[in-house]
């Protein structure tokens, strides 16, 4: 008896690439009493699969207020010949609120894991240097003090490499090993905005926002590049300036192959 003749329904794994405006959400991960992106999507998928509960496995948590362009999540579902992935994509997007979009849905091998199989991630942090637009408040950080892009970049480059990032993590992740590798940090200028794109093998809870707090202080001339190195080497959170706000941060891309990790390049402002 071939498998087609049994009543057994084989399970398939689908992977979603998701873009969202994080302003109105508690982040990706479901939490009590607050609305998470995961919850919104799972409800719609569960509905599409006629109330068979669908569980999404995300590539990471993102904090409340942080945005995403290339968040990756996967789910296991019975194959429904009446819902091809491209049809599902259109149907899901029609149900979603305007601040969440599924960019693609495709089938992947059963054993794929969106978090454990990731080789690295790219995040972009957007600084607004001149405060000239009323439309970017939700998508950038406008520090009150004047920043020098060269000083910002000099500080950022001190953070590249394999380090114990204990000075740049908040309590919640102190239990983890804080050694991570930042492969590169690329600065770009787009009009009045300065972006810093971090490509690394992984980032701790709020790590990029902690790093940006220090980079901002350096950009304002309050910390020398050497001082940044000393803060890094001290492995002590209390030595670093305050955490930068979430609305400037975008998860741009999750990498599952070396080639795309090497070639990633920010083409334009993430919210444009």
Q: Of 132-140, 157-165, 174-182, 237-245, which segment contacts its own copies by CB under 8 A?
A: 132-140
Q: Least distance in Å: CB of 231 to its own copies?
A: 29
Based on the shown chain and the rule CB under 8 A, indicate whether residue 21 belongs to the binding site for its own copies: yes
Based on the shown chain and the rule CB under 8 A, indicate whether residue 134 belongs to the binding site for its own copies: yes
Residue whose token pair is 């350096």 = 218
The residue among 99 and 186 lying less far from its own copies, judged by its C-beta, is: 99
Q: How many residues lie near its own copies (CB under 8 A)?
A: 21
Residue whose token pair is 């590169």 = 184
Based on the shown chain and the rule CB under 8 A, indicate whether residue 258 belongs to the binding site for its own copies: no
Task: Pick one of 79, 137, 226, 233: the residue that binds its own copies (CB under 8 A).
Answer: 137
Q: Least distance in Å: CB of 81 to its own copies?
A: 26
Q: Least distance in Å: CB of 171 to its own copies?
A: 30
Query: What contacts 93, CB < 8 A, 6 or more positions away?
Result: 101, 102
177 is catalytic: no
Q: Least distance in Å: CB of 135 to its own copies?
A: 4
Residues in contact with its own copies, shown as a per-residue x/- string from 65 to 104 under the rule CB under 8 A = --x-------------------------x----xxxx-x-
Q: Least distance in Å: CB of 131 to its own copies?
A: 7
CA distance 124 to 141: 12
Q: Which of 51, 63, 86, 176 is catalytic?
A: 63
The residue among 53 and 98 lying less far from its own copies, judged by its C-beta, is: 98
Residues in contact with its own copies, shown as a per-residue x/- string from 149 to 168 under the rule CB under 8 A = --------------------
Task: Pick one of 133, 187, 188, 260: the residue that binds its own copies (CB under 8 A).
Answer: 133
Q: Of 26-34, 134-142, 154-162, 238-246, which segment contacts its own copies by CB under 8 A?
A: 134-142
| 3-class SS letters over the chain | CCHHHCCCCCEEEEEEEEEECHHHCCCCCCECCECCHHHHHHHHHHHHCCCCCCCCEECCCCCCCCEEEEEEEEEEEECCCCCCHHHHHHHHHHHCCCCEEEEEEEEECCCCCCCCCCCEEEEEEEEECCCCCCCCHHHCECCCCCCCHHHHHHHHHCCCEEEECHHHCCHHHCCCCCEEEEEEEEEEEECCEEEEEEEECCCCCCHHHHHHHHHHHHHCCCCCHHHHHHHHHHCCHHHCCCCCCHHHEEEEEEECCHHHHHHCCCCCCCCC
Q: Least distance in Å: CB of 48 to its own copies?
A: 18
| Maximum Cα interatomic distance, the chain, rounded to a whole number of Å | 74
Residues assigned a catalytic role: 63
> Which residues of this protein are in contact with its own copies, per CB under 8 A?
19-21, 67, 93, 98-101, 103, 131-135, 137, 139, 142, 269, 271-272
């Amino acid at each position: 008896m071939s498998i087609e003749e049994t009543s057994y329904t084989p399970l398939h794994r689908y992977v979603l690439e998701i873009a969202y405006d994080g302003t109105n959400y508690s982040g990706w991960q479901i939490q009590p009493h607050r609305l998470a992106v995961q919850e919104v999507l799972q409800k719609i998928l569960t509905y599409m699969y006629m109330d068979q509960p669908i569980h999404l496995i995300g590539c990471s948590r993102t904090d409340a207020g942080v945005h995403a362009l290339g968040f990756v999540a996967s789910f296991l579902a019975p194959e429904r010949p009446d819902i091809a992935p491209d049809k599902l994509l259109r149907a899901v997007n029609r149900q979603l609120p305007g601040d969440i979009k599924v960019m693609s849905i495709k089938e992947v091998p059963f054993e794929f894991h969106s978090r454990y199989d990731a080789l690295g991630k790219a995040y972009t942090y957007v600084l607004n240097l001149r405060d000239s637009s009323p439309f970017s408040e939700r998508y950038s950080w406008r520090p009150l003090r004047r920043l020098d892009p060269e000083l910002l970049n000099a500080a950022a480059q001190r953070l590249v490499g394999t380090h114990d990032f204990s000075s740049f993590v908040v309590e919640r992740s102190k239990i983890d090993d804080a050694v991570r590798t930042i492969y590169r940090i690329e600065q770009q200028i787009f009009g009045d905005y300065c972006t810093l794109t971090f490509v690394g093998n992984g980032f701790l809870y709020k790590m990029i926002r902690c790093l940006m707090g220090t980079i901002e202080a350096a950009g304002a001339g309050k910390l020398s590049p050497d001082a940044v190195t000393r803060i890094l080497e001290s492995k002590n959170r209390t030595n670093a300036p305050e955490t930068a706000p979430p609305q400037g941060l975008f998860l741009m891309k999750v990498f599952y192959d070396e080639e795309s990790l090497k070639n990633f390049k920010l083409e334009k402002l993430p919210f444009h």
